[in-house]
Structure 1
Amino acid sequence: MNTEEQLQQTADRLAISELIDKYAFCADTRDAKGQMALFTEDTNFVVFMDAKAPEPTMVISKRNDLFPVFDNLNSYNATMHFNGQKSIQLDGDSATGLAYCIAHHQTIKDGVQKLMIAYIKYHDKFVKQNNQWFFAERKLMVDWIENR
């Protein structure tokens, strides 16, 4: 691999890493439309509320149908998605990845604070279109949930 190819791979890895982080930033700032814009038009968004379940809890196959899912975060007083380690495998203008996330969801009802913490692994497929990286598929796998 020559220097130019190494630089391009480094730039692509950084762009994908920033895409993953932007997803979390959009979630926590309640920017549902911004979050949607991170996905391809024909995206595949799959949620497993139990990572060991044989069937997903939800499957969405169009970017425009993501709005209610992301807008649902408004039901919480606050959220904080903390991204951890990630692995990215590049293959030209496509890539796959695994990203860890601890997602905190706070509600306050009758003056009582409740906190739901979801421990998530995202199995991702990415595609580069017009020199920009997007989620082509995001599988949200909840390993476990803690309620406080």
Structure 2
Amino acid sequence: MTDSLAPIDPRLQALLDKQAITELVYAYCNAADRHDNEKMRSLYHEDAIDEHGQFFEGNAMAFIDTLPAIQENMLILHHNVTTLNIVLDGDRAEGEVYILAFHQVQGENGPMDVLIGGRYFDKYEKRDGVWKYSHRAVVADWVKVDEPSTVNLEHPMIEGSRIGKPKQVDPSYDFFEIFQWGKGPQAYKS
């Protein structure tokens, strides 16, 4: 029988911390894509900073308060994490997260597609045993714009498929039982 108070091997603790941060990053993508701003709020510390280009720079909670207006014209959001570089320093960590983010935006002349290749520069802190964002900055490395949109959700290849939607009308909210999307601040944790 092992002593439950025995210290964890530092290498194992590093893996656990990196996994928790990775899940935080993935939860952010889900919250952004589903326009689930309650979930988004649960991912940041109250005093966190968010730098989101032209949209916002300042307190992350204030940024999240502006999201309904920002998201109003975004018909589709689809964030994909490709590379995570995470370095730990006790209860602090930093991450360079590579992303591909697709946006379909309703413009004056109809929908347009914006595909951004970029990165998040992140700072995380573990407080009360939970990793959250303390600072996030968006970096754009390239962008591709198609106006008008080339997305076709009525193509015969996807006939009969569930179609992703913003907010809790997305089919994932009804399909999953274990994920608990949108069920409070710790819903993203495994």
The reply to whether TM is greater than 0.5 is yes
- Displacement, 1:68? 3.8
Would you identify which runs of 4 or more consecutive aligned residues in structure 1 move more than 6 Å?
Answer: none
Residue 96, structure 1, aligned to residue 101, structure 2: no
Please, what is the CA RMSD of the aligned residues?
2.2
Paired position in structure 1 for 2:49: 44
Instruction: Answer yes or no: is the 8 Å Cα contact 2:48–2:61 preserved in 1.
Output: no
Where do 1:94-133 residues align within 5 Å? 94-107=92-105, 113-133=111-131
1:87-131 superposed Cα distances (whole Å, 9 cap, x missing partner): 000001000110011110113569954211112211110000111
Structure 1: any 5+ residue segments left out of the alignment?
50-56
In the alignment of these two chains, the number of paired residues is: 139
Which of residues 3, 19, 26 in structure 1 aligns to 2:24? 19
In the alignment, residue 58 of structure 1 is paired with which amino acid?
F
Name the one with the larger strand percent: 1
Which of residues 59, 62, 66 in structure 2 aligns to 1:65? 62
Q: TM-score, normalised by structure 1?
A: 0.83
1:13-54 superposed Cα distances (whole Å, 9 cap, x missing partner): 0000110111000011110121121111111111336xxxxx
Paired position in structure 2 for 1:137: 135
Report the secondary structure of 2:12's partner residue: helix
**Higher RCO structure (Cα 8 Å, ≥6 apart):** 1
Matches of 2:92 and 2:107, distance apart in 1: 44
The structure with more radius of gyration: 2
Paired position in structure 2 for 1:33: 38
Instruction: Answer yes or no: is the 8 Å Cα contact 2:73–2:107 preserved in 1.
Output: no
Q: TM-score, normalised by structure 2?
A: 0.66
Instruction: Answer yes or no: is the 8 Å Cα contact 2:80–2:101 preserved in 1.
Output: yes
Matches of 2:12 and 2:115, distance apart in 1: 38
In the alignment, residue 73 of structure 1 is paired with which amino acid?
Q
Matches of 1:120 and 1:70, distance apart in 2: 20
Gap change, CA 1:4 and 1:140, over 3 Å in 2: same
Matches of 2:72 and 2:98, distance apart in 1: 23
In the alignment, residue 97 of structure 2 is paired with which amino acid?
A
- Displacement, 1:69? 4.1
Q: Alignment identity in percent? A: 24
- Displacement, 1:4? 1.6
Which of residues 3, 8, 16 in structure 1 aligns to 2:13? 8
Report the secondary structure of 1:77's partner residue: strand
1:39-79 superposed Cα distances (whole Å, 9 cap, x missing partner): 11111111336xxxxxxx73112x43022443322421111
